[in-house]
Amino acid sequence: MDISALNEKIKEESAFVDLLVNEIGKVIVGQRAMIERLLIGLLSNGHVLLEGVPGLAKTLAIKTLSSAMKAKFQRIQFTPDLLPADLVGTQIYNQREGNFLIRKGPIFSNFILADEINRAPAKVQSALLEAMQERQVTIGDQTFKLEDPFLVLATENPIEQEGTYPLPEAQVDRFMLKVMISYPSRDEELKIMRQNVNAVDGGVQQVVSPKDIIKARNLVHDVYIDEKIEKYILDIVFATRSPKDYGLEKLTDYISYGASPRASINLALGAKAMAFIKRRGYVIPEDVRGICLDVLRHRVAVTYEAEAEEINSENVIREILNKVEVP
């Protein structure tokens, strides 16, 4: 493989990333990490779970991204009385013709914002997660392919726990990334306040098409990842399962269970997408480290002992990253 030729090709083909980020930046102030993770999810064909208090521009970010791509966007507010048919669609009886018609639900879009996913019962969560995994929906006896690209951005509100149905671990594992959203800085919030008080129109233009994203996905797979980097990814994942083997005996009592093979796959894919966003044709260890928390934080479960000592999965992952040798 000619790395230098691949690097030049990726550098040229990834030029749209800067255009896209700049266009989103007209509306979204700060939150660079969230925008980057959304792009990584999009380029890796994975879905994103966002956790953060209300009002941190989660809805606005994905709406702006869809506008910059001229893609279909749907926001679904998850509530305890929501039914699977409200999401995927249903069959309606046509009395005049004596047959059933298919009415498709809001899931048939490029971007789905599943707002407060943990407010809906298990049946609805399962219907969404099946669509995410299979990229298709069955209504009656007919199966329909979903739009491509297809990205689900699900949000969880960490404050209110009343009337919620926590996502089972096996379902959470289907999300490629879990991103924690924090408050903006003082300067960023001043800019946000002025932008909204003065009614500044961000005016998002289409700078990329869905076809460009599909083409870019194929290029992301071509990004070169060295065998040493692959072994580094496996060391990180295996350290969550067998910390003793990596000189991390103190974590044995803190980890209930480690990351699944999906973690290895998504770490490699995420690192490739990160390299693509940085306009490189090859993966470096910093790409893996940069995406590691988002890929692993929902895949590593801590024990009651860890919770009693106020140690969470992020503390465990950081400890592993500090210990595992970087190639």
Q: What string of DSSP letters covers 50-99?
A: EE--TTSSHHHHHHHHHHHHT--EEEEE--TT--HHHHHEEEEEETTTTE
Q: Is 58 exposed, middle or buried (0-12, 13-18, 19+ CB in 10 A)?
A: buried
Looking at residue 238, its pLDDT comes to 93
Burial class (CB in 10 A: 0-12, 13-18, 19+), 322: exposed
Element (H, E) at 111: strand 111-115
109, 73 contact by CB (below 8 A) = yes
What amino acid occupies position 10? I
Place of tokens 């059933």: 100
3-state secondary structure of 293: helix
Structure tokens at 50: 């966002």
Residue 161's pLDDT is what? 60
Q: How far is CA 273 from CA 74, 166, 172, 181, 219, in A?
A: 25, 30, 21, 20, 9
Domains of the chain, first to last? 31-186 (3.40.50.300), 223-323 (1.10.8.80)
- Please say whether the beta carbons of 265 and 44 come within 8 A: no
Per-position DSSP letters for 152-182, written without gaps between them: EEEEE-SS--TT--PPPHHHHTTSSEEEE--
DSSP state of 282: B
Whether the Cβ atoms of residue 188 and residue 11 lie closer than 8 Å to each other:
no
pLDDT in tens, the chain (327 residues): 677 888 888 888 888 888 888 888 777 777 788 888 888 988 888 889 888 777 777 777 778 888 888 788 888 888 888 888 888 888 888 778 777 888 888 888 888 888 888 888 778 887 888 788 888 888 877 888 888 888 888 887 666 565 566 777 767 888 899 988 878 788 878 887 887 777 665 677 777 888 888 888 888 888 889 899 999 999 999 999 888 888 888 888 888 888 888 899 999 999 999 999 988 888 999 999 999 999 998 888 888 888 888 888 888 999 999 988 888
Q: What is the pLDDT of residue 228?
A: 93
